[in-house]
Copies of this chain bind each other. A is one copy, B any other.
Amino acid sequence: MKKDRLEAFSDGVIAIIITIMVLELKLPQGHDIHALLPLLPVFLSYVLSFIYIGIYWNNHHHMIYAVNTINGRVLWANLNLLFWLSLVPFVTGWMGESHFSMWPIFAYGCVLIMNAIAYTVLARLLVKQAGHDSSLALAMGKDWKGKLSIVIYATAIIVSVYCPWISLGLYWVVAVIWFIPDPRIEKKVADKAH
């Protein structure tokens, strides 16, 4: 089975998810500059989620690029990831609209951890199919970033019940960890390619 349509469909779904989030930015109540102020939490939540979805798209891009064919299991693991990604706009809107209350931050963490798990499952299936000496397997390595993210998310979910602001900080920490490129991975893939 070819991967073209999997890529096209995933690109479509991720493009829609990243764009419909902005619909949570409802028109301000008034035409003054102060009318924008209550939207600030929604805007900040949108920025965080935009970065997250961007990271997922970026990594999805790399991962699928490294394989040649896909099977039925991969298709469903991919749909599972898209399902959890599709819940990001909902928890983003709730978190912003609640001005960063406890339970919305808790829910946001739950959706993020489910995304991370779904991504890990998809990655494992792809590595299994590509073989353990494939460039994908080398690039994934021990996947410390993925494991660390899940640990941080789990911590953030528990902490959110006591101090939601720390959880929010932890979500940004994970975003920064993924945002900073890992030079070794690009190098490994490049080495393998030549």
Contact = CB atoms under 8 A, between A and B. Distances in A.
A72 B72 CA distance: 30
Contacts of A82: 18
Q: How large is the interface on A (under 10, 10 to 19, 20 to 34, 35 or more residues)?
A: 35 or more
Nearest to A190: B1
Given A23-B20, A103-B31, A50 B83 contact: yes
26 contacts: A7-B8, A8-B11, A9-B14, A9-B15, A9-B57, A9-B61, A12-B12, A13-B15, A15-B15, A15-B16, A16-B16, A20-B20, A20-B22, A20-B23, A22-B87, A25-B87, A28-B94, A31-B103, A33-B103, A35-B103, A36-B103, A47-B83, A50-B79, A50-B86, A61-B75, A72-B181
